[in-house]
Every structure is written in structure tokens, then in C-alpha cells.
Amino acid sequence: FCVMDVSGSMDQERKDLAKRFFILLYLFLTRHYEKIDIVFIRHHTEAAEVGEEEFFHSTESGGTLVSSALVLLDQIIHARYPAEDWNIYVAQASDGDNFSDDGGSCRNLLVEKILPVARYFAYVQVAPEEQNLWDVYKTLVPLFPHFAMRKVSTPGDIYPVFRDLFKKEGVSV
């Protein structure tokens, strides 16, 4: 699952960083795995499952309600990708700006629904300064060893962060 914030606070530079990260992930996945489904979710205050073209090229924006994406993610997992039949991996990119009263919902959705069925969840913040979503998510790191988070501030950060997030276990980079 590729989950990208396209809200108004995600200026063009931040959207480009997120897209570059997802392009690298997409190329890696499609070159290394024969049987794979990639689900693209874009969100602002509302989330939508979209095709590859719209995911990478649409210019939609608005406010930010991250829980809308997590609710949709959970619905799609339960409708089409039961954890007993699929290995669930999630990559999320955002600038971390979220409606302040939405943090609890995000945390609850991750703790109660998504992280128990996901094999791995990687969050990439495409802004150097810590935002409210970062503060919520960092509380999950000690609780879930398969939850990771990193920051990307420049295009040069993308590959090292990607390698760090997706290195094989036991392999030092």
C-alpha cells in the first residue's frame, strides 16, 4: 500500500519528494517481485484509492485528515487482502501536518486495526520540522518493531532513507 498526503500543506517540493520516494519503491517492488498488488491511496481531508497515473500526476489538494486514508486502508485490507492470505506492507508519505484532533484517531486505527495485520509499516515525513503526526507516530515505535519512521528533506535524502527503511534484516547498511 502506498499512501500519500496531497493536502494543501504539501507544497510542490514536498509532493515531489513523496513522489520520488514512491517511484523508487514502485521500481524496486515491480523489479523484485512477480506476484504483487500495489494499492495507491491519496488523501487530503478525504481519501481515495486511485490508479498509478492519478497517484503520481494528479494535482488535487485540500486540508489534511490523515485518518481518512487509514480508514480506507483498513477497509481495503479487510475487503480484498486478508492478512492470512497476503503479506501487508504499507508506505506512507506526508509532511506530518494533520488536524490536531485527528491524531488520536490515527493512533487508534494503527494500533487496533492496521499494525496487527501489517508485516511492515514505513512512514516518511517529507518535511524537516517535526509536525503533530510525527509526535503521534513516534509513540508507536517502541510498541511495534515493524513500524519505522524517517525524514526526507532533500532529493538526496531519498535513496539513503529508502535503503535504511527496506534493508534486509540482519544486514547493516
Q: What is the DSSP string of 111-136?
A: IIIITTTEEEEEEEE-SSS--HHHHH
Cell match 499494525: residue? Answer: 115
pLDDT exceeds cutoff 80 at 171: no
Cβ distance 153 to 128 under 8 Å?
A: yes
> What is the arithmetic mean of pLDDT over 132-138?
94
**Which pLDDT band holds residue 129 (cuts at 50, 70, 90)?**
confident
Least confident of 55-69, 75-89, 114-128: 55-69
Cβ distance 42 to 19 under 8 Å?
A: no
> What is the arithmetic mean of pLDDT over 40-46?
93
pTM reported for the whole predicted model: 0.93
**What is the per-residue pLDDT for 169?**
61
Query: Which phi and psi (to 5°) does residue 153 adopt?
Result: -115, -25
**Which pLDDT band holds residue 170 (cuts at 50, 70, 90)?**
very low
